[in-house]
Amino acid sequence: MQERYININDYDYPLPDERIAKFPLEERDSSKLLVYRGGEISERHFSDIADELPEGSLLIFNNTKVVRARPVMHKPSGARVEVFCLEPHAPADYEHAFSVKGECEWSCIVGNLKKWKEGAVQIPFEFEGAAYTLQAYIAERGTREHIVRFEWSAPMTFGELLEYLGRIPIPPYLNRESEEIDLTRYQTVYSKFEGSVAAPTAGLHFTEAMIGTMRNNGFSFDEVTLHVGAGTFLPVKSENAAAHPMHTEHFEVRLATLQNLLAHEGNVTAVGTTSVRTLESLPVLGWRIRQSGELDAERVIGQWESYDIPTYYTGREVLEDLIGYMQRNGLERLKAATQIMITPLGFRFRIVKRIVTNFHQPKSTLLLLVSAYIGDNWRKMYGYALDNDFRFLSYGLPCPVPHNARRRH
């Protein structure tokens, strides 16, 4: 097999620091909206997005919730150590990891690791009038990530403990510490299930009022859950982007959501790249069923597994296969993990027809995803945004729309 090759330098562009939106606008839905449709670009405000989507569209949100995954701890000597919780290790299931009491282990990045060679770091705190301590030990050292064991005696779950003591892990490219405003604005209005260390930021611009109005006007909404890992912040270091290892992300999709997707087949809008990665991981599971009769959900969806699916296997067939399998096995939801990498190297979108997404960092895997969707026209779109005062990254927003989208009047 010929080696896959993507020159990451072909996905670079100049992004001045002053163009990065460091803070959200006062109103969520007041961001500028760039609409790309069939090679043409237009400008709106995000509050007008309903006018740019076909009637009856189904919008898919990622309902993950960002956890305060950065507890700042100290050595007995006073040395400051920041522990960034990436994903649960023991217990490994997200739901159990946040509900456990007493002790647990997480895969973590440790800031100021040189000061933490042995022993415990800790946070003394008070809860309901009593004094407690959260302690952490390095159970297993790695190269970049380490297994950290947390121990506490307070009558709190680990999720409650992080909410009480941790900080919101805002993206490093914001070049600032998290502030009070990030507790609410670096969270979507529809977030439900704790597990992410980064927000699905395209959804930050939706308000409850917007969603309600769109429902009344015939739009449908549904949700998936994909817990966003720290890998979303990692730059592509290899000149060959195809050699970049994708981190594992865990997702969950309900049977009712699959049925909704089937009912709206051909009219699905994914809100954010995390929703795209979830939905476009489904064909791999469907093809496994088609090939072997089994979902094999314990096996992580491989980085390039989607590319081996025959082109004739349609999105409708994917959804029918998954729905049939779940009904035969009495499943109301499926859980799986994915390392999917969506690139211009012939990726075939089977479920998603439109994408609402942010402007992404230069030389990033997310920019590769955009290029897989609209080809080299990403340059035209990003160039327009740079020339017309659009805000970039977490709090700025374009909306690529395919050429066959029908404008509402």
Residue 172 — very low, low, confident or very high, per pLDDT cuts 50/70/90?
A: low
Query: Binning pLDDT at 50, 70 and 90, where does residue 270 land?
Result: very high
Six token digits for residue 39: 């090679």
CA–CA distances in Å: residue 182 to residues 22, 83, 179, 200, 214: 11, 19, 6, 14, 26
Higher pLDDT, 388 or 318: 318
CATH number for the segment(s) 16-66+183-401:
3.40.1780.10
Measured over the CA atoms of residue 310, residue 311, residue 317 and residue 319, the dihedral's sign is positive
Per residue in 97-126, pLDDT tens?
999 999 999 999 898 899 898 899 999 999
Rounded mean pLDDT, 215-230: 93
Residue 2, pLDDT above cutoff 70: no
- The pLDDT score that the predictor gives to residue 184 is 64
Whether the CB-CB separation of 397 and 356 falls below 8 Å is answered with yes
Q: Inform me whether the pLDDT recorded for 84 exceeds 50.
A: yes
Q: Using one digit for the tens of pLDDT, what is the confidence trace for 6-37? A: 999 999 999 888 888 777 777 888 888 999 98
Question: pLDDT digits over 342-391, tens only?
Answer: 999 999 999 999 999 989 889 999 999 999 999 999 999 999 999 998 88
| Rounded alpha-carbon distances, angstroms, from residue 147 to 105, 140, 150, 278, 336 | 6, 5, 10, 27, 22
Q: Work out the pLDDT band at 200, boundaries 50, 70, 90.
A: confident
CB contact set of 95 (below 8 Å; sequence gap of 6+): none
Q: Which residue has the higher pLDDT, 395 or 371?
A: 371
d(C-alpha 79, C-alpha 291), whole Å: 55
Instruction: Enter the pTM of the model.
Output: 0.87
Paired residues of 134 in beta bridges: 123
Q: Dihedral angle at the C-alpha atoms of 268, 279, 224, 325, nearest 10 degrees?
A: 110
Domain ranges, ordered by start, for the chain: 16-66+183-401, 72-167
pLDDT at 409 over 60: no
Length of the chain: 409
Q: What is the pLDDT of residue 121?
A: 96
R_g of the chain, CA atoms, integer Å: 22
